[in-house]
Structure 1
């Protein structure tokens, strides 16, 4: 659910020396404190804000509105304390039927995004969360109060400092009176350690007057004394004020995250019977523990100095400004260090690329390509950058190769294994870092890919930002993608937004970028994924982000969801992690490299373009996402049919005897029970209502990613393809390791049959209903797995042109196997052929196919080029 904030900004801040300026408007490095707070909350995913202001309100409204448009204002008049301000803000949100959780904080804080993000991360597991700071940093946070814990260590109440002082003083007074002692020393001690809250000082003065007048036996005074000295409710127990140990106590940082329905009830229970005669927002914790004993209370602790800072006077404000300037300078130093590590002037790049010997570039190219010379086109790209953006400053250069998935198609997002290598078709980018967050993009093919420009901050301000999943599911995201359908700039936006979502405590800097390369688009060679990886590499490098290679794979896979496809991270893994001459065997959830093996000696891989581009949007995107939905429907149905499997069956990968503790026959019997084909109406009528809320919500997210197929979802054929392809992918790496290209070719042919849409000769159309016919139910596990690997299934994402090229290739000398390359619906196929026949095959297919033919070389994975020495 979305998080909304209530920011308390009604304080006058008389101690700041400027009675004409509200406390929250004092600038921190040129930005009003309340604006900085709101901007930080927005960057962390809090999209709507209610600011509670005092009178006069106009000056705050004007200052905030120009910076934070998603903000509403409500006036607190008269000022009756922080609790009263929170009540006013909460009532406004309740009138608007706000749900989810509400973040309540003061507007005169400095908050670092890292701390806010940690607080928001507990939203799903907390009904009431609060930020605390160690007492060693008492400082300005002392005004937030002491956080007292119950016997289980759970925060039970917050004791404001004036009330703490009054309570311990009352205990001390009562002790002295009981012994007939002199109270003067007690009041002197209290005043020395006291607080400047007017009500507390008046109370001390009144007690001193009465004590001096011999009023120790006055019933009213004793009743007041007893009230302050009484035990404090703490969770399910009590604590005596005199027994409070300050050692190890944490201080309240005055930032809370409270479930909306609980907050709306709690603010109505606030009372002003305290030392200062005000309504305390801190009392919300005590009231929550009292009236909602089952509520989940979570404490988030400040981990490092400077994550949260408050100010009471100009000296405190100067300390915050010094901290902010220091953080800015450190971030700048990191960026400059990153640029020194990866950037160089254009002229130096040109010299080194012309003659790489002795520059370090020759070693880099040897690792990547097996030769010491620069690839074609990079020098031209540097020249195009100079023409477009000038030659001042230093630039970074990144390369990102195409990939080929030799076996394991359509299954990575279901946890299945893949066998991939990077090939010698690449995207190249030259980039010059900017000091703002804007990206300016230009392509060497400007007719097809016109210039684009965007600001990360502007995008973030227009999109929901609670989580990455919420961002890509949002209607506003869909509208943006649809309005700019097919826009190549989306791949830069995808990388930038996903990384900004991960690093919410950083303002990511943009760049001027020129893009070129030789990966054919729409060919099934993952040109789009190569672009996303290249953009991500640039952003990470020039912003000095700490991202491991495996994390980068996940971020790029999730980032590409922004474009609308719901695939996995297989392409990005191959593009980033491949090594020259090797086929890598990866699995997912968790991501892991299980093995690698050299490509078959004496054999070559040809990539043949059908002449039909594989689109990524519109009906093609629907087709891709429909097949993903078939997998999800199949998993959901099997969980309903076999409740004992529910907790262990999450992906198609988990439909395995060893995972589900079931026999092979039991699995095949259950698989035969799911429908061969099902319409969306049949799904909603017969299955959806049986799902638990979590599964139903997950399925709704899947089903809203596409238009439903008019002929229904082919659930069992798709599910059977996925199961069989996983078996073929495991057998494929064994073939590579043992040097068995003939068996590998047979698995290629079988896999392609599962994607066929055009059948000729003796080929029989694959059916999802052939489980019983093939003896799969009665087989033991080993025999069943072998049978399963030979079942094509029915994914059907090829096209007739590709099927005809595959059939033609299989009829020619030296060919062992052929299959579709990539996700399908156009693009290329791949052909395994003996090297002595590769050139002749290329010539033959060049005239038959509608597009070019490539003999592929294996290359190293994506990355920034080290600058020349």
Structure 2
């Protein structure tokens, strides 16, 4: 793919290969711990071995030219004028990251860049975070900004929050930037303390199922869920000295849930607290090789996201239900923000083929959409690749 990208880059922008640099940032899947990154909870994502590639070259002027092999739209801007423009569509993600570098006082020049992503767009596997962190790596490298990866992760999240108006937590960008081959990341989204946990799934595979129901995160009910959690937290803070919902354990929640005077915010808070406990138990299970318990916790996570947090929808629920029916499925749940996108399953290796065939067939019969399935390996985080 890289060879084709260089060829296409030279066709679009001209010149020679001199000064060309190559970059990669993965997609991510969250194994468990959904919708708690912004509630001070633990998440457990891993980087995937597919993602977003880029070829870039510095220019002598202040012009930045964006192109991708995924869409026809190409955009040209002056680095001195970086503003959100709806017509600029996907390029608002890299533009937002550039703005964060400028806001920190870095002096940027012009460059040409060509992107290509093999993360299905709108699938919930973090194509936007992958593009953001990739752009941070490019800018950092081309202009010798000397920012470390965690700082670039923070800048990428801030770009999505403030420039693109999506109130996401930091998990996606963190997993994309800090991923490690054959490891998942246990991340405290409040403090950014993290540990790598070996993801040794001997005899099992991670299978991602794409419902092909696209979800536009900015247009979804994501921000609404976040404000409902903030409301619940505000109610609890009248009597409790806490900064985040996930500071409570389930016993603490049960003792104080009466403080939340509305049912829907109470349900959202219950999910957050219970999901945080599930993450801790899931990591313990993996560390002791107890895949069966890990799978049961994944299943319970989906039920909570369906019933208490209400972010699944008929497509995700149907695909998960069909996954649960397959002999060899250890656990399955929605992953990502919800409202469409993907499920993640742990499947016994000898059952993967029948899993894909059976779940795909039944899902299409029930929903009328043809799902896609990816057997995923766990890869490294973003970086310069040549």
Q: Same fold (TM over 0.5)?
A: yes
Aligned equivalents of 1:855 and 1:863: distance in 2?
Answer: 23
Residue 656 of structure 1, CA deviation = 5.1
- Per the TM alignment, residue 411 of structure 1 is displaced from its structure 2 partner at its CA by 1.0
CA distance in 1, matches of 2:198, 2:47: 14
User: 2:255 matched to which residue of 1?
Assistant: 669
Question: Do residues 453 (structure 1) and 76 (structure 2) align?
Answer: yes
Written as runs of structure 1 = structure 2, the 5 A alignment for 1:823-834 is 823-834=337-348
Residue 367 of structure 2 corresponds to none
Structure 2 residue corresponding to 1:804, chosen from 318, 342, 366: 318
Counting only pairs closer than 5 Å after superposition, residues 62-461 of structure 1 correspond to structure 2 as 377-392=1-16, 393-447=18-72, 450-459=73-82
Instruction: Please report how far the alpha carbon of residue 439 of structure 1 lies from its aligned counterpart in structure 2 after TM superposition.
Output: 1.9
Q: Is the 8 A contact 1:404 1:422 kept in 2?
A: yes
Q: Which residue of 1 aligns with 2:184?
A: 583
Task: Please report the TM-score for the alignment, with normalisation by the length of structure 1.
Answer: 0.42
**By how many angstroms is 1:519 displaced?**
0.7
Aligned to 1:428, the other structure's residue is in SS state strand
The question of whether the paired residues in 1 share the 8 Å contact of 2:236 and 2:256 is answered with yes
Alignment of 1:633-644 (within 5 A): 633-640=231-238, 642=239
Greater Rg over alpha carbons, structure: 1
Deviation at 1:496, TM superposition (A): 0.6
Query: Which residue does 2:248 correspond to in 1?
Result: 655
After TM superposition, the score normalised by the length of structure 2 is 0.93
Contact 1:609 1:852 in 2 (8 A): yes
Contact 2:20 2:57 in 1 (8 A): yes
Shift of 1:617: 3.0
Once residues 189 and 29 of structure 2 are traced to their aligned partners in structure 1, the CA distance between those partners, rounded to angstroms, is 17
Residues 845, 853 of structure 1: 8 Å contact kept: no
Runs of 4+ in 1 over 4 A off after TM superposition: none
What secondary structure does 1:755 align onto?
Answer: helix
Contact 1:510-1:539 within 8 A present in 2 as well = no
What residue is the counterpart of 2:230 in the other structure? Answer: 632
Which residue is equivalent to 1:598? 199
Residue by residue, what CA displacement relative to the aligned partner does 1:152-201 show, whole Å, maximum 9, x if unpaired? xxxxxxxxxxxxxxxxxxxxxxxxxxxxxxxxxxxxxxxxxxxxxxxxxx
**Separation of aligned partners in 2, 1:436 and 1:651:** 47
Q: Which consecutive unaligned segments of at least 5 residues does structure 2 have?
A: 364-369
**Cα offset for 1:523?**
0.7
Cα shift readout 1:494-537 (whole Å, capped 9, x = no counterpart): 111112112x2x32123101111211011110011100011111
- When the two chains are superposed, the root-mean-square deviation of aligned CA atoms in Å is 1.8
Listed one character per residue, the Cα deviations across residues 86-108 of structure 1 (whole Å, up to 9, x for unaligned) are xxxxxxxxxxxxxxxxxxxxxxx
* In structure 2, distance between residues paired with 1:568 and 1:738: 29
- Contact 1:609/1:829 (<8 A) preserved: yes
1:599 and 1:672 mapped to 2: Cα distance? 42
Task: Report the Cα distance in structure 1 between the residues aligned to 2:139 and 2:197, rounded to whole angstroms.
Answer: 29
Please say if 1:852 is aligned against 2:346. Answer: no
In 2, distance between residues paired with 1:399 and 1:847?
34
CA–CA distance in structure 2, aligned partners of residues 599 and 454 of structure 1: 45
Give yes or no for contact 2:249–2:274 (8 Å, CA) kept in 1: no
Shift of 1:595: 4.0
Q: Equivalents in 2 of 1:436, 1:453: separation in Å?
A: 13
Question: C-alpha separation between the residues in 2 aligned to 1:378 and 1:837?
Answer: 33
Q: Does 1:565 align with 2:79?
A: no
Counterpart of 2:329? 815
2:357 is the counterpart of 1:843: yes
Q: For residues 628 and 435 of structure 1, what CA distance do their matches in structure 2 show? A: 44
Secondary structure of the residue that 1:394 maps to in structure 2? coil
- State the partner residue of 1:616: 217
Q: Which residue in 2 is equivalent to 1:248?
A: none
Q: Is the 8 A contact 1:437 1:507 kept in 2?
A: no
Deviation at 1:559, TM superposition (A): 1.4
How much has 1:598 moved relative to structure 2? 2.2
Q: Would the aligned equivalents of 1:587 and 1:594 in 2 still touch at CA under 8 Å? A: no
